[in-house]
Amino acid sequence: MTDNQLEEVISSIGPKVKELRDMRGYSLQQLSNRSAVSPAAIHKVEQGNMVPTITTLLKLAAALDRPVSYFVEEEDSPPAELVYTPADGRRPVYTSHTGIDLQAISGPYGRFFVAGAVAVLEPGATSGEQALRHAGEELIFVLSGSMEVDVGEQSVRLGAGDSIHFRSDRDHRWRNPTKKSTKALWMALRPT
């Protein structure tokens, strides 16, 4: 990547943050509350007066329901109408959760509404004590092994061939309580 390309990527971060904030109807304070980044820092990032640290970018990405890659992808080509992903060409998907490996089977998240991944959950892997909640829907299809998913007050144990589809704007958690790895197809739909 040349210096010019790097500068273009960096200068595109702020406008992308502002565009997503505006699309969701968040004020600076509302995004601050969701991300734990000060309103002043968000404003500086949006105006291009500050390059966010990786920690700040991770917080903003999570609050805006986008992967970090959305903010730093080069846009040197027109948006793809289709993305072909061969079995050996899956790219890793960042997650803050330990014990789970995600490999993308869908196109870039910023260009498409549906994100899909093959997930491998190690024994004991969990989404954590804090419930997850974000806009959209999730669909999980277990390929092998088993896992448990809580949505609201309901808990469902999934085995090979089972699936669960839920609105992700409700509190939810997942875990692999077994001593074997679980492999699942995990889809997420995030509204614009």
Give the full edge-to-edge strand order of the sheet including 114-121.
100-104, 114-121, 182-189, 137-144, 163-167
Element (H, E) at 172: strand 172-175
Q: pTM above 0.75?
A: no
The long-range contacts involving 44-53, CB below 8 angstroms and separated by at least 24 positions, are 45/13, 45/14, 45/17, 46/14, 46/15, 46/17, 46/18, 46/21, 47/14, 48/11, 48/14, 51/10, 51/13, 52/13
DSSP state of 135: S
> What pLDDT sits at residue 109?
61
Please report, for the chain, the start and end positions of each structural domain, with discontinuous segments joined by +. 3-72, 87-189
Report helix, strand or coil for 181.
coil
The CATH H-level (homologous superfamily) assignment of domain 87-189 is Jelly Rolls (2.60.120.10)
CATH topology of domain 3-72: 434 Repressor (Amino-terminal Domain) (1.10.260)
> What pLDDT sits at residue 126?
96
Q: Cα(59)–Cα(62) distance, rounded to whole angstroms?
A: 5
Q: Which one, of 73, 115, 70, 66, lies nearest residue 90 by Cα?
A: 115
> What pLDDT sits at residue 80?
62
Q: What is the mean pLDDT of each run of 10 residues along the chain (192 residues)?
A: 73 87 88 94 91 92 86 61 84 81 80 87 94 90 98 97 96 97 93 62
Residues 6+ apart with CB under 8 A from 6: none
Q: Cα(133)–Cα(182) distance, rounded to whole angstroms?
A: 23
Q: Which residues is 137 bridged to in the sheet?
A: 167, 189
